């Protein structure tokens, strides 16, 4: 007796179709996502919960998900670490920027240089930073937050590697001054750029930790027109944003800690 090909269970078809909608679309709510997939809201919620538990998706904001660790391990795309960091952090930094009225960044350390992965809150490009561009790390808040948490031997090599050019009168250029600043950053938990890269530009930055390792940093531009605001006035808000990003990164913990070579134990 010849049997016909067995069709997959309907729930599998629905889950896969919903997964495609999640990964390809941007929905403002669960209702919008369910409507796009042609499913009742309760069904969409049940299927999404199953996909989330299986590690295929991770929620990043209301109605918005990204591919989860299981899906990414199967696909194994190149340079996925930065992509995950940017996708997770983007909505959180956008909210921080809206609430403070300040420009916010996410950055990582690559070959001793600080790379911007995200820039939020500067539609007119008033600041020099651009997504994807690199700057010297020793004179930026983001860069110093990351350098301070490099493994000790690599940090020593960095400080011994060459001349640090003064970009402004405030730039720290002596290795011993930078070493002391890195120690303060590790002690206090935040870094400052006090007009060290551009005169008039002041930033505060905090590290992003996963487990006991620093894998990235976020910063907030403190400078206001007509004067400066005390940088630590924003410390509680930027730390709260860092904590929110760290919480969202937990499902990717093993993947990111293995790949982020600039990380070091705290």
- CATH class for the domain made up of 10-75: mainly alpha
Rg (Cα) of the chain, in Å, rounded? 22
Place of tokens 């405030």: 170
pLDDT of the residue at 196: 93
Q: Which CATH number fits domain 80-259: 3.40.50.300, 3.30.413.10, 1.10.510.10, 3.30.450.40?
A: 3.30.450.40
Which residues in the chain show pLDDT less than 50? 1-9, 78, 261-263, 265-266
Ordered DSSP codes for the chain: -PPPPPPPPHHHHHHHHHHHHHHH---SSHHHHHHHHT--HHHHHHHHHHHHHTTSEEEEETTEEEE-HHHHHHH--TTHHHHHHHHHHHHHHHHHHHHHT--EEEEEEETTEEEEEEEES-TT--SS--TT-EEESTTSHHHHHHHTTS-HHHHHHHHTSS----SSTT---SHHHHHHHHHHHHHHS-EEEESSSSTT-EEEEEEEEETTEEEEEEEEE--BTTB---GGGGHHHHHHHHHHHHHHHGGGHHHHHHH-TT--B-
C-alpha dist (Å) from residue 215 to 106, 146, 205: 11, 8, 13
pLDDT of the residue at 66: 80
**Cβ atoms of 117 and 85 closer than 8 Å:** yes
Summarize pLDDT for 46-64 with one digit per residue, the tens: 888 888 888 888 888 776 7
pLDDT of the residue at 108: 93
Q: Do 10-75 and 80-259 have matching folds?
A: no
pLDDT of the residue at 22: 77
Answer whether 0.85 is exceeded by the pTM. no
pLDDT of the residue at 220: 96
Phi and psi (nearest 5°) for 219? -135, 160
β-sheet bridge partners, residue 115: 108, 134
d(CA 229, CA 224): 7
pLDDT of the residue at 192: 96
Domain range annotation of the chain:
10-75, 80-259
d(CA 245, CA 128): 25
pLDDT of the residue at 218: 97
């Amino acid at each position: 007796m010849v049997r016909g090909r067995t069709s997959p269970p309907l729930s599998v078809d629905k889950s896969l179709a919903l997964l495609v909608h999640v990964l390809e679309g941007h929905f403002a709510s669960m209702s919008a996502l369910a409507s796009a997939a042609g499913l009742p809201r309760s069904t969409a919620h049940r299927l999404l919960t199953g996909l989330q538990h299986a590690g295929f998706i991770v929620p990043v904001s209301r109605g918005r998900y990204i591919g989860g660790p299981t899906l990414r391990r199967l696909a194994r795309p190149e340079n996925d670490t930065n992509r995950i960091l940017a996708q997770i952090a983007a909505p959180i930094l956008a909210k921080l920027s809206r609430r403070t009225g300040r420009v916010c960044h996410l950055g990582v350390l690559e070959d001793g240089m600080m790379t911007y992965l995200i820039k939020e809150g500067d539609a007119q490009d008033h600041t020099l930073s651009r997504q994807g561009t690199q700057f010297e790390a020793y004179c930026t808040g983001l860069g110093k937050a990351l350098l301070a948490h490099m493994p000790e031997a690599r940090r020593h090599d960095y400080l011994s590697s060459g001349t640090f050019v003064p970009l402004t009168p405030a730039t720290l250029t002596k290795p011993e001054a930078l070493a002391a600043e890195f120690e303060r950053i590790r002690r206090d938990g935040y870094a400052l750029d006090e007009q060290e890269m551009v005169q008039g530009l002041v930033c505060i930055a905090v590290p992003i930790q996963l487990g006991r390792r620093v894998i990235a940093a976020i910063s907030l531009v403190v400078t206001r027109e007509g004067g400066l605001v005390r940088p630590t006035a924003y410390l509680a808000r930027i730390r709260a944003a860092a904590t929110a990003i760290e919480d969202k990164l937990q499902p990717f913990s093993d993947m990111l800690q293995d790949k982020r070579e600039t990380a070091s134990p705290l």
